[in-house]
Amino acid sequence: MTSLIQVGSNVGDEYIFKLIEDKKINLCVFIDANEKALEKCRENVDKFFGGKNIDWEMKCEYIICAISNSKKKEVELNIPIGDDYSNHSSLDASFPTISDTKDGFRTVTVQNFLISDIFDNFKLNDITYLFIDVEGCDKEIVTSIDWSKYIIHNLKFEFTHWDGWQGYNSEGLRQLIFFLLMNKYKVYQSSATDLFATKLPNWHENYNDGGTT
């Protein structure tokens, strides 16, 4: 079974929807702590796939919750006032995209889970795609993954706020990239803010360094 989990789905992303269609993903899990944004995501998924010929088994799940490395059952989400669908909502109240909001932000209490709770709930040890975009909290999720238990074939996360606002010059981030490389992932920058890591299925050592024999 192929699977896609998007943490911080907001209102949805047509790139993700197209990926689901092209790769014929079986299980699609959309997660966002902002209830209104997640409901709009459901509407956009239905709109995108409405009328399409879905000739494979596809199931979509929508989960209203925060994902972090905290074991608290509830955490506070900060949503910019005046934008119920804001993609700058964050668990971090000091995050500049929140504190610099013209009208401030409102705080709501939301359920909180570990990423492993989501994997285990769907009985997934093998995850095809994991996309993370949670406005400054990506580090908490990525570094809490038990890589010895779960296989993630494709991982995308925001690196520019790894250690605080624009904290991408980070020894911790460099260590994570090295860890992924040593575990046979191809790691590259996929956008101005994101890194993408793909596990190489047929990795083998290449002793041909381009030199002459």
Domain boundaries, the chain: 3-69+110-199
- Pick the closest to residue 134 from 102, 169, 160, 101 (CA basis): 160
3-class SS of residue 67: strand
| This prediction's pTM | 0.92
Residue pLDDT, tens place only, 135-188: 888 999 999 999 999 999 999 999 988 887 776 788 999 999 999 999 999 999
Q: Superfamily assignment of 3-69+110-199 in CATH? A: Vaccinia Virus protein VP39 (3.40.50.150)
Residue pLDDT, tens place only, 133-150: 998 889 999 999 999 999
Residue pLDDT, tens place only, 96-141: 777 667 788 899 999 999 999 999 999 999 999 999 999 888 999 9
Average pLDDT, the chain: 91
pLDDT for 213 equals 41
Tell me which H or E stretch contains 100. Answer: none
